[in-house]
Amino acid sequence: MIEKIYEEMLSRDPDQPEFHQAVREVLDSLEPVLERHPEFVEANILSRIIEAERIIQFRVPWTDDDGNVHVNRGFRIQMNSAIGPYKGGLRFHPSVNLSILKFLAFEQVFKNSLTTLPMGGGKGGSDFDPKGKSDSEIMRFCQSFMLELSRHVGADVDVPAGDIGVGGREIGYLYGMYRKIRNEFTGVLTGKGMSYGGSLIRPEATGYGQVYFAREMLKTRDETLEGKVCLISGSGNVAQFAAEKALQLGAKIVTMSDSGGFIHDPNGFTLEKLEWIKELKNVRRGRISEYANQFEGAIYTPVDHNLDYNPLWAVDADVALPAATQNEINGKDAENLLANNVYVVSEGSNMPSTPEAIEHFIEAGILYAPGKASNAGGVATSGLEMSQNSMRMNWTREEVDEKLDSIMVSIHETCARTAEEYGYPGNYMMGANIAGFLKVADAMLNQGVV
């Protein structure tokens, strides 16, 4: 039956490989669930859960600083609202298309379910490339994007946030335009600035949560992150705060990257070096290659498109914390990681490991956490931002961090327990897919055929 549903999806949307990949992984995990729950089969939950409730695509025209008019595509995928309003980020990157956004929205449904908070799943964005654009170009683009998006979102309807290429600056411009159009001050976006309804710890949350999850996995083997050598990919929001938390917990970080290449600093990053990277990336918006000119002993390796592996994943280490983009670890990268004794992989990016890579990790029996579990701290803290907005109050830094930490502990516990219950002990991928599915499927079943 699973095969038939998958084939149907392939023939409906043959040109969406990332979406197929995300669906395949989840469907393949659900066999043991359907055996125990024939009612899900009867209500055809699987066919319904892989079909978006609504997809919005729109034109985003904008004018650059020289007066030239450009047109980009805007999207919002409203995937599933059975357990709460649609919730999920916006991605601005030239690669954005329906396949990528549908895979992200699909993953978001299960991730949001795992957080324990009442949030449905959605995702959106544009093929707009923010690189090299001035602040005023970014502002005009965001305003044009929100002019259309504002018709489809709302604090109780759909609450977007950031993702690749969308950070605090973009959320600010988007929020300003929404407020002007709708003449209302509500929690329609998360990741807002602290002066207008943002939550403490939201910027840190995805990276911190990713490391809390790694800490929980290590705990099952009576180990800690102290002294562990970590590989991080990316140098954006998630990577920066994964590095910060891992350093605070005593790990040694030796790599970071951007789309141009990676730096290997065998001496390890310090909090001071990390501050320099944050300034480079968040203020000057420069390239990671500059790090090698700044700090002695660091080596920069540019991306080589002739290689069929990423040399970042061939550096000696104990822990890998991918935090850049999808499919950044292929089968060969996974073999390299395992050959170099990496035995903890906690995903910060969404779907960073290809199916071949995941197979290697699971066969090797290492501590492997899929993104929908280990990167859920970001959206969980968005959920906490929504609660604070509704209550019109703010929790302290310590309060939010404590809630984030206990949510990550609970997601870890749920994934481990569910994997065990269904006969796959230690397999966090099975645990995350099954547990994430059960809550949404139950809600869909109870709400009838809608």
Tokens representing 177 are 């335009």
Residue 407 burial (CB < 10 Å; 0-12/13-18/19+)? buried
**Using CA atoms, how far apart are residues 309 and 301, in angstroms rounded to an integer?**
13
CB 385 within 8 A of CB 362: no
Asked if 390 is part of the footprint of ligand NDP (rule: CB under 6 A), the reply reads no
- 332 counts as catalytic: no
Q: Exactly one of 112, 350, 389, 418 binds ligand NDP (CB under 6 A); which one?
A: 350
Q: Exactly one of 78, 80, 99, 237 binds ligand NDP (CB under 6 A); which one?
A: 237
Q: Exactly one of 89, 120, 198, 209 binds ligand 2IT (CB under 6 A); which one?
A: 89
Catalytic residue among 123, 133, 192, 281: 123
Site stretch for ligand 2IT (CB under 6 A), options 86-94, 169-177, 282-290, 293-301 = 86-94
Residue 255's closest CA among 244, 246, 265? 265
Q: Exactly one of 375, 389, 414, 418 binds ligand NDP (CB under 6 A); which one?
A: 375
Asked if 346 is part of the footprint of ligand NDP (rule: CB under 6 A), the reply reads no
**Using CA atoms, how far apart are residues 180 and 120, in angstroms rounded to an integer?**
26
Q: Exactly one of 49, 77, 246, 379 binds ligand 2IT (CB under 6 A); which one?
A: 379
Instruction: Name beta bridge partners: 336.
Output: none
Q: Exactly one of 162, 172, 197, 261 binds ligand NDP (CB under 6 A); which one?
A: 162
Tell me how crowded residue 42 is: count the other CB atoms within 10 A of its CB: 9
Asked if 348 is part of the footprint of ligand NDP (rule: CB under 6 A), the reply reads yes
Task: Output the DSSP codes for 364-427.
Answer: HT-EEE-HHHHTHHHHHHHHHHHHHHHHT----HHHHHHHHHHHHHHHHHHHHHHHHHTT-TT-
For the CB of residue 163, give the shortest distance to ligand NDP in the complex, in Å.
5
Asked if 206 is part of the footprint of ligand NDP (rule: CB under 6 A), the reply reads yes
For the CB of residue 311, give the shortest distance to ligand NDP in the complex, in Å.
13
Asked if 382 is part of the footprint of ligand 2IT (rule: CB under 6 A), the reply reads yes
For the CB of residue 159, give the shortest distance to ligand 2IT in the complex, in Å.
7
Asked if 207 is part of the footprint of ligand 2IT (rule: CB under 6 A), the reply reads no
What letter does residue 121 receive in the DSSP assignment? E
Give Dmax (Cα) for the chain. 63
Asked if 120 is part of the footprint of ligand NDP (rule: CB under 6 A), the reply reads no
**Using CA atoms, how far apart are residues 292 and 294, in angstroms rounded to an integer?**
5
The residues assigned a catalytic role are 123
Q: Which residues of the shown chain bind ligand NDP in the complex (CB under 6 A)? A: 162-165, 167, 206, 234-239, 258-260, 323-325, 348-350, 375, 378
